[in-house]
Amino acid sequence: MGRAYDRNDTVVFAVTPKFIKERSAADYPGTIVILMGCYGLFSTDLPQAFIDRGASVVIGWKGLVGLEHTDKATLVLLEAIVLDKLKIQDSVERTLDRVGPDPESKSTLTYYPETKGDLVFSDLHPSGFFMVSSMAPISTRKEMVSELTSGRTC
C-alpha cells in the first residue's frame, strides 16, 4: 500500500503492484478482483500483479472516479456478476449502460485481461461462495503505509 495526497492534501491510500507481488499475504486463485477506486486499470501493472498471483480477471476504472459514482457502479456490477450470473464483459457493459462513465473525469470501467470477458462467476465458484476481504491484517497495514505510490493520486 502507499500513501499519496489528493488535491486537498487529504491522505489517500493505494495498493501498488509491488505490494501485490511482494507483500500480499495470499494468492488469488480463480478470483475476480474488483478495484473500484481510481486508476485500478490505468495501466496493466496492477491488474497483471493480481493475475500473476492467480486471479482470473481484474475489473476497475481507467482513471479518476467519484465516490458516489463508483458506489452506484459497484452495486450494478455485483448484481450482474453474482445475482444475474452474467459474463464479465456483459456485467461491465451493463454497468456502463446503467451508470455510465464518471460524469466529471469520463473515466470508464473495464477489465483485464481482455481475453477473460467470457468468464462467469458461477463457473469459477459453483457453490456461489462470495467473500469480501481486506488486503492484509491490520498489524501489517501500518508498515505498508510507508511505501509511496508512483505519484498518481485520487
**Could you tell me the sign of the dihedral formed by the alpha carbons of 131, 134, 138, 143, in that order?**
positive
pTM above 0.85, yes or no: no
Residue 154 or residue 58, greater confidence: 58
Q: Which three cell numbers stand for residue 14?
A: 493505494
3-state SS, residue 110: strand
Q: Report cis status (omega within 30 of 0) of the bond before 47.
A: no
DSSP letter string over 115-126? GGTT-BHHHH-T
CA gap 125, 136 in Å, rounded: 23
pLDDT of residue 4: 52
Q: Given the C-alpha cell 500480499, which residue does it identify?
A: 24
> pLDDT digit string (tens) for 66-116?
999 999 999 999 999 989 999 999 999 999 999 999 999 999 999 999 999
pLDDT of residue 28: 87
**Pairing status of strand 109-112 against strand 57-61:** antiparallel
Q: Where are the chain's structural domains?
A: 2-144
> pLDDT digit string (tens) for 17-47?
898 988 888 888 888 999 998 899 999 999 9
Residue 3 has pLDDT above 60, yes or no: no
Q: Report cis status (omega within 30 of 0) of the bond before 137.
A: no
Q: Given the C-alpha cell 456483459, which residue does it identify?
A: 90
